[in-house]
């Protein structure tokens, strides 16, 4: 299951059924859970933990030092959940002391070739990052988010659940749940209704989300005024909760 040319350093904890390909390197603080398949020429280093049933393709670099000039070698970690697919040349860096010390990636994510997840990012589950998508440091990504090819997020941005970033869309402000972003420069273009249908949202729920989008983006109201109006709908329309909470938590301002 482990190729004879692979290097597993003393201290690494590797489940008995893990597959590791030729010339891969697993560092001494690494933990790899059951069912994982690590391709050839992969480097997994630092205080990095992979859960179960992850697949990492060749030439990926997982758990390397953060690309942050303030990093001074302090202890930091990377935590990856279960069932993730990490394709060729993906780079995922561990955290820094300024960002809580841990980069986290959830479960069942599909991370395509040449993607980058920087230090202290918190990525949810069921996220798709198409080729070349990039997250700068400290970005928070919800569940079921889709990043099209070469899209990305500026440091400290928040991308809400079920959002969609179109191709080449690099955002520098926060994107609430459900919102679809596209164009050059990227702008909100409506609600990711097709994705919501695929995930079992009812027609009524999607109508409610579209109406909430209109209140935030097309009513001419300030963010405070729009959120005050939407707060009155929380109890009867709980699908709006994450959208409202995302907008309230925004520190960089909402992408307009």
Give catalytic status of residue 138 as yes or no.
no
The position carrying tokens 């959830």 is 106
Gap between the Cα atoms of 221 and 225, Å rounded: 6
Give catalytic status of residue 17 as yes or no.
no
The count of other CB atoms within 10 Å of the CB of residue 239 is 20
Active-site option among 63, 99, 137, 152: 137
Active-site option among 120, 143, 161, 174: 120
Which residues, other chains included, contact 133 with Cβ-Cβ below 8 Å and sequence gap of 6+?
Answer: 112, 115, 116, 147, 148, 149, 150, 151, 152, 165
Give catalytic status of residue 142 as yes or no.
no
Beta-strand runs (E) in 36-127: 37-38, 43-44, 47-50, 55-56, 61-64, 77-80, 85-86, 91-93, 102-105, 110-111, 116-117, 122-123
Active-site option among 41, 116, 119, 138: 119
Instruction: Indicate which residues carry an active-site annotation.
Output: 119-120, 137
């Amino acid at each position: 299951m482990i190729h004879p040319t692979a290097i597993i350093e003393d201290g690494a904890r590797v489940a008995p059924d893990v597959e590791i390909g030729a010339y891969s390197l697993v560092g001494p603080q690494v933990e790899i859970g059951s069912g994982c398949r690590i391709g050839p020429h992969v480097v997994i280093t630092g205080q990095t933990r992979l859960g179960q049933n992850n697949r990492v393709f060749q030439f990926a670099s997982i758990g390397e030092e953060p690309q942050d000039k303030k990093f001074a070698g302090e202890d930091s970690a990377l935590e990856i959940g279960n069932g993730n697919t990490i394709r060729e040349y993906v780079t995922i860096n561990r955290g820094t002391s300024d960002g809580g010390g841990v980069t986290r990636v959830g479960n069942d994510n599909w991370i395509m070739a040449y993607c980058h997840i920087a230090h202290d990012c918190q990525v949810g589950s069921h996220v798709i990052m198409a080729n070349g998508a990039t997250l700068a440091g400290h970005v928070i990504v919800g569940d079921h988010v889709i990043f099209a090819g070469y899209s990305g997020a500026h440091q400290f941005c928040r991308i809400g659940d079920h959002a969609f970033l179109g191709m080449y869309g690099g955002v520098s402000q926060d994107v609430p749940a459900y919102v679809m972003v596209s164009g050059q420069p990227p702008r909100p273009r409506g609600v990711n209704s097709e994705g919501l249908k695929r995930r079992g949202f009812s027609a009524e729920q999607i109508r409610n989300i579209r109406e909430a989008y209109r209140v935030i983006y097309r009513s001419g109201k300030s963010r405070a005024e729009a959120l005050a109006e939407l707060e009155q709908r929380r109890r009867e329309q709980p699908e709006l909760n994450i959208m409202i909470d995302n907008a309230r938590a925004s520190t960089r301002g909402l992408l307009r």
